[in-house]
Amino acid sequence: MNSLLADLLLGILEGLTEFLPISSTGHLLIAQHWLGPRSDLFNIAIQSGAILAISLVYRQRLWELATQWRLAGPRDYLLKIALAFLVTAVVGLPVRLLGWQLPETVTPVAWALVLGGVWMLLAERWSERGPPSDTVTWKIAVAVGLAQVVAGVFPGTSRSAAAIFMAMLLGMNRKPAAAEFVFLVGIPTMFAATGYAAMETLLDGHAGDEDWAGLAVALIAATVAGFAAVRWLLRYIGTHRFTPFAWYRIGLGTALLLGLPAGG
């Protein structure tokens, strides 16, 4: 397959799966089994395309926070976004430097898909026991930051799923509100991760080996697909449960463990 076409398909896949709670890492792993492996910079940078999509979806909310930060409500919300990001950075950077991460191979990703799906089924039911709430507490901000680190350690977990369901378990059980906070925290998180990966590539002297044209194509595709996916997801979870995503994860993970389609 033409390399640019493969990059386009990978970008679309990333954009569609980054925010759905089904693990973009797991789907990219499966796709790259046929389309060919990509560099760490590629796999991280195209996530920034999806994050750019979030910035477009929430552009009015971001403008409101930027222009009204002197008011107590927006300032408090921004500080909690900052806290969640700082927790991810302070805990996640040493974890990355120490290499505390399972390999992005089929077996650990498959188990993460299955166990994550089961956890989603249980967590959603448990969160519904409490009164409806869209309040972000300081505890939730810390937990969201830690959840992002866990998702990085266990490929296939899904950053969005781990963080959204952690917020829901701690009382923020209005799903659109939980998703908004997690997605907004993802903006600085993933842009920082991309910057770090780019710096590593430059310092390692591998910049010349990178297919920058392919990366640009994939990033643009991820932005467009991510925008469509987020708009759809926000409408869907306003009136529906996460159950279909959980069962999809369980089914896909089981298929991978049985050796289909990625061959073990």
Cα 52 vs. chain centroid, distance in angstroms? 13
Task: Judge contact between 207 and 42, C-beta under 8 A.
Answer: no
The pLDDT assigned to 204 comes to 77
* Count of residues in the chain: 264
**Is the overall model pTM greater than 0.85, yes or no?**
yes
259 φ, ψ (degrees, to nearest 5): 95, 10
The pLDDT assigned to 262 comes to 44
Task: Judge contact between 214 and 5, C-beta under 8 A.
Answer: no
The pLDDT assigned to 141 comes to 98
pLDDT tens-digit map of 138-184: 999 999 999 999 998 888 889 899 999 999 999 999 999 999 999 99
Cα 58 vs. chain centroid, distance in angstroms? 16
Tokens of 77: 């919300």
Cα four-point dihedral sign 148, 19, 39, 106: positive
Closest CA to 113 of 158, 153, 150, 147: 158
- Ordered DSSP codes for 4-17: HHHHHHHHHHHHHH
The tens place of each residue's pLDDT in the chain, 264 residues long, gives: 578 899 999 999 999 998 899 988 788 888 887 888 888 778 878 888 888 999 999 999 999 999 999 999 999 999 999 999 999 999 988 887 787 777 767 888 899 999 999 999 999 999 999 899 999 999 999 999 999 999 988 888 898 999 999 999 999 999 999 999 999 999 998 888 878 877 877 777 666 677 888 889 999 999 999 999 999 999 999 999 999 999 999 999 999 888 854 444
The pLDDT assigned to 208 comes to 65
Q: Identity (one letter) of the amino acid at 254?
A: T
pLDDT tens-digit map of 30-49: 888 788 888 877 887 888 88
Instruction: Give the end-to-end CA distance of the chain in Å, rounded to a whole number.
Output: 23
The pLDDT assigned to 260 comes to 55
The pLDDT assigned to 68 comes to 95
CA distance 253 to 156: 9
